[in-house]
Every structure is written in structure tokens, then in C-alpha cells.
Amino acid sequence: MRGIKVFSGSAYREFSEEVSKFLDLPLSNASVGKFSDGEINVQIGESVRGQDIFIIQPTCAPTNDNLMELLVMIDAFRRSSANTINAIIPYFGYARQDRKAAPRVPITAKLVANLLETAGVDRIVTMDLHAGQIQGFFDVPVDNLYGSIVFKDYIKQKDLPNPIIASPDIGGVSRARYFADQLGFDLVIVDKKREKANISEVMNIIGDVTDKDVILVDDMIDTAGTMCKAAEVLKKHGATSVMALGTHPVLSGQALERINASVLDEVVMTNTIPLLHKSTKIKILSVAPLFAEVIRRINNDESVNSLFS
């Protein structure tokens, strides 16, 4: 791992430390703070001239602060003559605003892509983008890793008697189908009507879930309304158990309360975002070894895609 330095933003230092441990490489020194008025201040504590830099920073809540901090760090490294600047963004904020879904609304995912490129990033590594086409918003390489690689092993260990994959809405069918194909399971779809942002109403089930162990698959669990209502309808249609898989544990608002009060048997997520509150129903799987391996492969000019083949 010559010519490489790994730095951490302040969003999730524990994750950065876990990645650096798997790389057998200590985190490099950078001081990230704020002026008294809230402006972000970054000071790189060592020479990075000619080095390949990896900055680990999910743009989770507080999203605006963490995104701005990442931009400032990228600028600092660019002005310090780094060879390449690679942004490791386990959770990519603003990814849900990826198209004009209504008149007079922004495409904020494209705006964030422009900001990162203008700051000077050379590569993005992220996981389970809300929409895969966001990769096309960038003119630099984007590695969109799949959380299914860790979920797949976990599901196999569960040895469920009658498993089936379910998509919580029409928009997530391609993601759920990919996961179903990986495991060799059948697929059902929850037909959902969304009245407004973060509020959903489950209508019916496309497919048969009678006596099935249903595995709901999504890229994130935010307010948990979709997952909890989907689980309720699935059990009403005869499902034996319902497990929810969500890569990013956003869990905003009353999400934890909803999960604890729901008929969900288990909720499995990864540690792309720090989980501030624990629940007996929630299981967290670490993706730090996966990100560490991707960093190693990028440094050695090896294939990243072969990890998921």
C-alpha cells in the first residue's frame, strides 16, 4: 500500500478506523473543526504531495455539514498537490433527488456531483445509490458497491425454510430482482401508492407469499413507514415471517418507534451510517472490510467489479 494515505472526516470516524484496521494502515492526520460562526476549517497535518488520497466521509445527517466538510477537505488536498483524491462516501446524501419528479424542483444529486468534481475529486466510491443512473451525473469514475454481498452471506446463514424476496415498491424491483437472482429465490412486489414525501400507503401484493419467509429489500430505511406497512400487508396475505434488508440506516423521525411496534421479525442494515439508537429488532452488518478491499484494489489497479461477479 505505498503512496496511499487514508483520511477521515468527522461524520463517522469509527467506520474510518475500522477500514484502516483492515488495510493495516493508520489513519493520516487531518484536523477538521469549525470557526466560531460555524464555517468549516480543515488543516492537513502531513505532506500529501504526490500521494493517492482516500477520504472516508458519508454525507449522512447533518447532511449539509458533512457534505461541505468533504468538499473543503477535497479542496485542501488538491491545493496540497495530492496525486489523486478518492472520496469514499458509504452513504451518498441527496441521491433521492435524481430527476424532475414534479414541476419546478431541483435535481440535487446532479448538483452534488458538480460540486464534488469542481472541488477536485478524481473518483467516487459509494454503496447502493438510490438510483444507479446517478453514476452518469459524474465525469469521473464512480464505483457503486452492492450491499447485497454482505446480506447474501447473512441470509444463507439464516437457512430460512421457505424464503422469497420482496420489493417494497415498483421502483425497487431491479434491486430486489438482482438480489433474488443472486440467491436463487423467487420475487414478489408490494404495490404502493405514495401520497406525499415520506408517507406511503401499501395497496396490495403482486405474487403469492402464503407460508413464505419474506425478505424485503431496499437501499435505505428512512422513516420506516414503507417497510412496516409492507410487513403488515405481507403477513395479512399469509407470510410466515418478514425480514427487512436496508443498506443505509437513515432512520429519521419516528423510525425506531415504528420498527419496534411493527410486525417485522428482523431488520438488517449495514454500518454505512452511524446508528445512534439500538433496537432488539435491528441487526447491523459491517461493510468496512468490503470498502477496505476496494481501496486496496484501486491502489493496486485491480478489478473492483470482480468482487460482485
- Domain of 69, CATH number, reads 3.40.50.2020
Predicted local confidence at residue 195, as pLDDT: 59
Q: Which of 5, 110, 152, 192 is catalytic?
A: 192
Predicted local confidence at residue 263, as pLDDT: 96
Q: In terms of residue numbers, what domain contains 257?
A: 148-285
Same domain, 17 and 136: yes
Predicted local confidence at residue 193, as pLDDT: 67
3-state secondary structure the chain: CCCEEEEECCCCHHHHHHHHHHHCCCCCCEEEEECCCCCEEEEECCCCCCCEEEEECCCCCCHHHHHHHHHHHHHHHHCCCCCEEEEEECCCCCCCCCCCCCCCCCCHHHHHHHHHHHHCCCEEEEECCCCHHHHHHCCCCEEEECCHHHHHHHHHHHCCCCEEEEECCHHHHHHHHHHHHHHCCCEEEEEEEEEECCEEEEEEEECCCCCCEEEEEEEECCCCHHHHHHHHHHHHCCCCEEEEEEEECCCCCCHHHHHHHCCCCEEEEECCCCCCCCCCCEEEECCHHHHHHHHHHHHCCCCCHHHHC
Predicted local confidence at residue 101, as pLDDT: 84
Predicted local confidence at residue 155, as pLDDT: 95
Q: What is the pLDDT of residues 261-279, one digit of tens each?
A: 999 999 999 999 999 888 9
Same domain, 142 and 157: no
Give the CA distances from residue 160 to residues 155, 189, 205, 223, in Å, rounded to whole numbers and listed in that order.
8, 19, 21, 27
10 Å Cβ neighbour count for 78?
Answer: 16
Same domain, 138 and 153: no
Q: Are the CB atoms for 7 and 56 separated by under 8 Å?
A: yes
Same domain, 9 and 131: yes
Same domain, 85 and 103: yes
Same domain, 304 and 222: no
Predicted local confidence at residue 109, as pLDDT: 96
Q: What domain count does the chain have?
A: 2
Same domain, 91 and 188: no
Predicted local confidence at residue 278, as pLDDT: 84
Same domain, 118 and 220: no
The residues with which 267 forms a beta bridge, in sequence order, are: 244, 282
Same domain, 218 and 119: no
Same domain, 15 and 129: yes
192 is catalytic: yes
Q: What is the pLDDT of residues 95-129, one digit of tens each?
A: 999 999 889 999 999 999 999 999 999 999 999 99
Predicted local confidence at residue 247, as pLDDT: 95
Same domain, 55 and 90: yes
Predicted local confidence at residue 131, as pLDDT: 87
Task: Give the three cell numbers for residue 278.
Answer: 439500538
Q: Which residues of the chain have pLDDT under 70?
A: 1-2, 193-203
Same domain, 26 and 155: no
